[in-house]
Chains A and B, each alone.
Chain A
Amino acid sequence: MSNSPPRSQPPLAAPPGGAAASLGRPGGSSERLVQLEVLRYNPDTDTEARFQRYEVVCQEEWVVLDALNKIKADIDPTLNYRWSCHMAVCGSCGMMINGEPKLSCHAFLREYEGVIRVEPLAHFPVERDLVTAPDDFMEKLKRVKPYVIPKEKKPISEGEYKQTPAQLMKFRQYSMCINCMLCYAACPQYGLTPTFIGPAALTLAHRYNLDSRDGGRKERQEIVATHEGVWECTFVGACSEVCPAHVDPASALQQMKITSSIDWIVEHLIPGGKSARDTVSREDAGDIS
């Protein structure tokens, strides 16, 4: 692939105030000339990232992802970014848009004026252009065991693990995470302390802890209750503000701080109080793959 930077766009003569020009189209949806400043980085040729300005005619009701797709189709096929569903479900298209972590399929152009700055998700290593490496999050996700660890195993012949609607509602909100990692890009603690397990992974741990079919909380506490677990969080709350699925990770972490504190009191201040580690039986710890 040729890596010479595309020069299809001459330097723009921005209108006064940087506002993008609106081209009204009577009777139909209006078009608008949108200016995007996109961070470009090619590891094969670039020593550092740079911004590239694009100017593209968009429909007023489009989202930033549409503008990027139009750029890729018509102006610059070398632009790299991830996306899949275009409906805020898959969580692939997270980027920094004007400095804020957003799903680009959910960032409506009508909410922006002037030049829209598009960068890869903060706090993650950039692989190319807007594509980041999610490896750190994936590794942390595995560590919190985000799956049901049954309280008691039973053979399939005994039927399903039943749950009432009320039991479902206890954790449903926390199960809506789409792993888009916007909360990691928003979290100042993760930016400062990369070993922090982080909002989404801890919230998923909480989701399974709250599940009536689950008995794995003691195991997860080995990660959750460490300094790099919930205790690195200082309740800034940015995670909950940027979450496109309204999961509210900040509330999950606060609830886990309370239960972890109660655990600590039981383990250290109540005579005969069992530590969480003691109560994990060998069987439970070993039989879930």
Chain B
Amino acid sequence: MAKSHKPVVWFPFAAGGTVIAFFIPVIVLLTFLAALGHVPPGLSYERMHAFAGSGLGKLIIFGVVALSLWSSAHRLRCTCFDFGLRADTLAATVLYIAAIAGSLLSAVYLLQI
């Protein structure tokens, strides 16, 4: 039996899972606070815009977005499989393309800042 090449998709999935666990709840909370007009000190629009404009900021934001999308796509693929949807190749193709498209869009958007 040949060894599996699953690590190619699993490693970014695992990294994304870690990112989702540690960063996404905080980002959701801060976004909600900002939407309700309670912008925490130090996270003003100007400062965040400047952060997104720097090279390191772009890289961090892209990393968070791309890894989270990839992790979600892979988790959804596994969930489809767990629920008995046997069209794994189709599910994987659709979901991974969606994750890659989302990542590319975020890259394009970040490069415009």
Q: Which residues of A contact B (CB under 8 A)?
A: 188-189, 192, 221-223, 225-229, 231, 234-236, 257-258, 260-261, 264-265, 276
Contacts and interface: CB of A to CB of B under 8 A. Distances in A.
A276 B4 CA distance: 13
Interface of B: 1-8, 10-11, 14, 78-79, 81-82, 84
Contacts of A265: 7, 11
A231 B6 CA distance: 7
A235 B3 CA distance: 19
A226 B7 contact: no
B interface SS class: helix
27 contacts: A192-B81, A192-B82, A192-B84, A222-B3, A223-B1, A226-B2, A226-B3, A227-B1, A227-B4, A227-B6, A228-B1, A229-B4, A231-B4, A231-B10, A234-B79, A235-B78, A236-B82, A257-B10, A257-B14, A261-B7, A261-B10, A261-B11, A261-B14, A264-B7, A264-B8, A265-B7, A276-B3
A interface SS class: helix
A225 to B, nearest CB: 5
A90 B81 CA distance: 34
Contacts of A235: 78
A225 B7 CA distance: 10
A228 B8 CA distance: 16
A249 B89 CA distance: 27
Contacts of A189: 81-82
Contacts, number: 46
A225 B4 contact: yes
A260 B7 CA distance: 8
Nearest to B84: A192
Contacts of A226: 1-4
Contacts of B14: 257-258, 261
A167 to B, nearest CB: 27
A188 B82 contact: yes
Contacts of A264: 3, 5, 7-8
Contacts of A222: 1, 3
A257 to B, nearest CB: 6
A143 to B, nearest CB: 10
Nearest to B5: A264
A62 B79 CA distance: 39
Contacts of B6: 227, 231
Going nearest first, the 8 A-B pairs with the smallest beta carbon separation are A261-B7, A234-B78, A264-B7, A231-B6, A227-B4, A226-B1, A231-B4, A225-B3
Contacts of B11: 261, 265
Contacts of B8: 264
Contacts of B10: 231, 257, 261
B70 to A, nearest CB: 14
Given A234-B78, A234-B81, A258-B14, A221 B1 contact: no
Contacts of A231: 4, 6, 10
Contacts of B3: 221-222, 225-226, 264, 276
A194 to B, nearest CB: 14
